[in-house]
Structure 1
Amino acid sequence: MSNRELFNEACRYIPGGVNSPVRAFKSVDGIPVFAKKGNGSHLIDEEEKEYIDYICSWGPLILGHGHPIIKKAIIEASEYGTSFGLPTHLEVEMAKLVVESYPGIDQVRMVNSGTEATMSALRVARGYTNRNKIIKFEGNYHGHSDGLLVKAGSGALTFNMPTSPGIPEEIISQTLVCTYNDLASVEQCIAEYPQDIAAIILEPIAANMGIVPANAEFLKGLRELCNQHQIVLIFDEVITGFRVSYHSCPEYLGIIPDMVCFGKIIGGGLPVGAYGGRKEIMEMVSPSGPVYQAGTLSGNPLAMRVGLAQLTYLKDHPEVYEHLENSARYLENGIQKILNKLNLPYQLHRQKSLLTLFFTSQPIQGYADVQTCDTKMYALFFKEMLSQGILIAPSQFEAWFLSDAHTQQDLDKTLDAVYSALVKCHDSLSD
């Protein structure tokens, strides 16, 4: 069946034809690519068309599709058993590896998704501080739990839905929204509710409104404010964890949070999440403490074995990060040269192996800036790239992800496609 035929059938049985909104390709006015097979840096769809893949399952495939160590781990896990509902030694090994890799955390609890991780971390922070309100930032996406779908990024931003129906006002009222990279907005918020704020949660490198890093002064100020007011600082590293560095954002950005949330990459591509923090905070979690959180498949042996294999490989092969950096820098420099040659004022952001080309002349610091992007132009660009065999995010407000499997040939073909696509897009406007 063609992608269009599959999508038409999917729409009969699945809301919108997809199980996660951005996959619908709605914001680029397209039909979803139905994936059939992945191999290295390439993806093949149900029509047998082959693409260089810069989605990489939205980040976790840092080694590319079908890496031998991942295949081996999946086979081994299936031979031993995929789920027991009991502890396994794999959970212990995984927790030890994560704690040892991430500065400032002492314990970690495994869950099954990034949404579950952020939701649980906030519950623990509230229990620890005995306060109810939280601060999040415009354009930061932390999953689809009720209290966090307020001026969110990712799919909510893509579809211009800063909030979602079905969320009681009583829950929304506990979420305070500040401006990313604007410390004064946080100071004002804390001054208004000096004894009520349990936690500040943010993406230290925002990756769900495109790649927008928090600046150093902003992060340092948040850390100082949290220390001063006994507020729990939570880093959402569902996308950036183990991707920007083996030691994640604390090593890369130099700020250590009180808690952290993981997802995606720690499962090697399988469904997984985790949250961790200082011992006195994590001891609030049941059965050690009174804050309840549970999950039958949390720490399941399939995800643990595969995730352990990937994280161990990354630990033992630091050259992966060197290759990623070199590849991403090459792509960044090449795209910037193209923009300069064509006299296009678009904004190009890169943080390690994450990249976004913003179709705006407005310098990007936060949510208001990304809203100036020309999404119609991005849709044209996306389609041109797709026609040339390059699969990038089907949304202006997502990242491109590089993997260790991307080759020099892949990068050069991508740059040729970028040049051709930008020329065609702008020629079509002048016709």
Structure 2
Amino acid sequence: MTLADRARRVIPGGVNSGQRSIPGFTDLVITRTSGARFWDQHGREFTDYHAAFGPALLGHNDPDVAAATAAAGTSLALPGVAVTDAEVALAERLTELVPSLEKVLLTSTGSEATFHALRVARAATGRRLVVKFQGCYHGWHDSVSLNVISAPDRLGAHDPTSTGILPEVLDATLVLRFNDTAAVRQVFADHGDDIAAVILEPIPHNVGALLPTDDFLRTLREECTRAGSVLVFDEVITGFRHALGGYQSICGITPDLTTLGKAIANGAPVGALGGRADLMDLFSTRPGGPAFFAGTYNGHPQVVAAALATLRKLSDEPVHEHTFRLGERARTELAALYRSLDVPTVVTGYGSVFVTYFMDGPAPRSYDDLLANDAARFIGVRRNLTEHGIFELPLNLKRSHISYAHTDADIDRLVEATEAAVRKTLADGVPADLAHTSTMGGAQR
């Protein structure tokens, strides 16, 4: 019996998260990670551009982060009461770096952070409605677990990612097109007095990379301010991967609340929620605060140590300079490759993130545009890349990531392998199990 078979006997589906079981790779078992690579149970080596949905900005097993985590484990276990000096230091550092953060609370996941952001927004405003955008993912909780990667016939209606969600919960969430300023103005004209919060990924990376327009982000800020609604930037992906101050420091729009995770600690299980002091003081961590907030593992000494070490390295070393340069190389050279092969594509992304859509036209601005993507070819090319030791997650619309551990030689090999993978895909056609693929893939970050 293989390791994968043993896993399926005792773990539903053989994996502990909904998108770790990849069609065509159901026997993949990871045994080691290091830098920009991982190895499977057969000893095969892969250059990793998936990077666990993106947190490993420094690369897997970064030695400085690992050393800090190990040191914390020898001196302090989870006390479960009061606060540790490292928690104070991390909160201080986060409020220094991210423009919107006046006060901050730590969570264990990004989903918890977005959950609490919406809870406190409703507590502050006394309102019911939340606005989200098609293609954005904000975690597994019921009020936002809808309309991420949707089939064409599900656009314009609620499209929950799971059964078991109460209809009245879904009814309290309004879903709009990303980058649609007219729709934003209209929803506030119709419902502004009952909108507690607007939540968005400033770049919806869960469907690759939809870059926001300046007018769209300004409109969100203006309408939320006018209506007294809470603007929430979900920077679980964009925060720290794109800048030490998050994408808000790049676009110049300051939200009321910000959620963080992933690259905050290079893959250690920590998230954060921060923002305006008057909102954050509504949590029950302050005596008398009406919005309940708890978590046994919040601020765990080892994950806090990992976060402090990660932020220190991001501040002291040219991590963003390196990853942005390689990201630009990847996007530029992949686009040139596809032109030379006469394969219609849009190669886009931001900073260290890149994605190739198999479609004609300009860079997409909303999820509607992505319906033109050839999902079967998108997945087929990525499957064929694995034969050359390159791993980009073979699910539709998923982005790829470059880390500080990647090198120019890795980008050279990526482009070479992509050419071979594309030629094989063109020659062999679409695999049988992808023949009827349109929009497929899931919501996980």
Q: Answer whether contact 1:51 1:391 (CA < 8 A) is retained.
A: yes
Measured after TM superposition, the shift of residue 39 of structure 1 is 1.4
Alignment correspondent of 2:198: 200
**Structure 2 residue aligned with 1:376:** 376
Q: Hey, what's the Cα distance between the residues in 1 that align with 2:59 and 2:374?
A: 31
Q: Aligned AA for 2:337?
A: I
| TM-score, structure 1 normalization | 0.94
Which aligned pairs between 1:24-423 and structure 2 lie closer than 5 A?
24-26=21-23, 29-31=24-26, 33-86=28-81, 87-153=83-149, 162-163=159-160, 164-288=162-286, 289-317=289-317, 319-363=318-362, 364-423=364-423
8 Å contact from structure 2 (residues 49, 401) kept in 1: yes
Mapped to 1, the partners of 2:367 and 2:145 lie a distance apart of 14
Gaps of 5+ in 1: none
Per-residue CA shift, 1:232-267, capped at 9, x if unaligned? 110001111101011111222221111100111122
Structure 1 residue matching 2:91: 3-state secondary structure: helix
* 1:8 positional shift: 2.8
Amino acid across the alignment from 2:348: H
Contact in 1 for aligned 2:380/2:430 (Cα 8 Å): no
CA contact (8 A) 1:377 1:425 kept: yes
- CA deviation after TM superposition for structure 1 residue 346, in Å: 1.1
What number of residue pairs does the alignment pair up? 421
Give the aligned partner of residue 15 of structure 2: 18
- Give the structure 1 partner of residue 434 of structure 2: none
Q: Give the SS at the match of 1:357.
A: strand
Q: CA-to-partner distance for each residue in 1:104-133, whole Å, 9 max, x for gaps? A: 220010001010000001101111111111
CA contact (8 A) 2:70 2:302 kept: no
How much does 1:430 deviate?
A: 9.7
- Per the TM alignment, residue 30 of structure 1 is displaced from its structure 2 partner at its CA by 3.3
How many angstroms apart in 1 are the aligned matches of 2:282 and 2:346? Answer: 44
Asked if the contact 1:127–1:291 (Cα under 8 Å) also holds between the matched residues in 2, the reply is yes
CA distance in 2, matches of 1:362, 1:19: 38
Distance 1:314 1:342 in 2: 38
State the shift of 1:429 in Å: 2.7
CA contact (8 A) 1:23 1:32 kept: no
Counterpart of 1:120, as a letter, is H
Q: Tell me, in whole angstroms, the C-alpha distance in 2 between the residues paired with 1:425 and 1:395.
A: 16
- Matched position secondary structure for 1:148: coil
Counterpart contact for 1:362–1:372, Cα < 8 Å: no
2:221 aligned partner, one-letter code = R
Partner Cα separation in structure 2 for residue 82 and residue 210 of structure 1: 39
Q: Which runs of 4+ in 1 moved over 6 A?
A: none
Distance 1:240 1:384 in 2: 29
TM-score computed with the length of structure 2 as normaliser: 0.91
Give the distance between the partners of 1:207 and 1:149, measured in 2 at CA: 16
Deviation at 1:48, TM superposition (A): 0.8
Residue 207 of structure 2: SS of its match in structure 1?
A: coil
Q: CA deviation at 1:300?
A: 0.7
Which residue identity does 1:175 align to in structure 2? T
In structure 2, runs of 5+ residues without a counterpart are 432-445
Once the two structures are superposed, residues 16-36 of structure 1 have per-residue CA deviations (whole angstroms, 9 ceiling, x without a partner) of 22111221113xx43253211
Letter of the 1:280 partner, please give it. D
TM-superposed deviation, 1:228: 1.1
Cα distance in 1, alignment partners of residues 185 and 89 from structure 2: 40
Question: Which one is further off, 404-413 or 66-75?
Answer: 66-75
Q: Is the 8 A contact 1:203 1:237 kept in 2?
A: yes
Looking at structure 1, the residues matched to 112 and 395 of structure 2 have their Cα atoms a distance apart, in angstroms, of 24
| Rounded Cα–Cα distance in structure 2 between residues aligned with 1:307 and 1:57 | 17
Structure 2: distance between partners of 1:32 and 1:254? 45
Deviation at 1:7, TM superposition (A): 2.7
Distance 1:264 1:282 in 2: 21
Q: Residue 380 of structure 2 contacts residue 394 of structure 2 at CA under 8 Å; is this kept in 1?
A: no
Q: Equivalents in 2 of 1:373, 1:12: separation in Å?
A: 36
Partner Cα separation in structure 2 for residue 152 and residue 430 of structure 1: 25
Contact preservation (8 Å) 2:330, 2:354: no
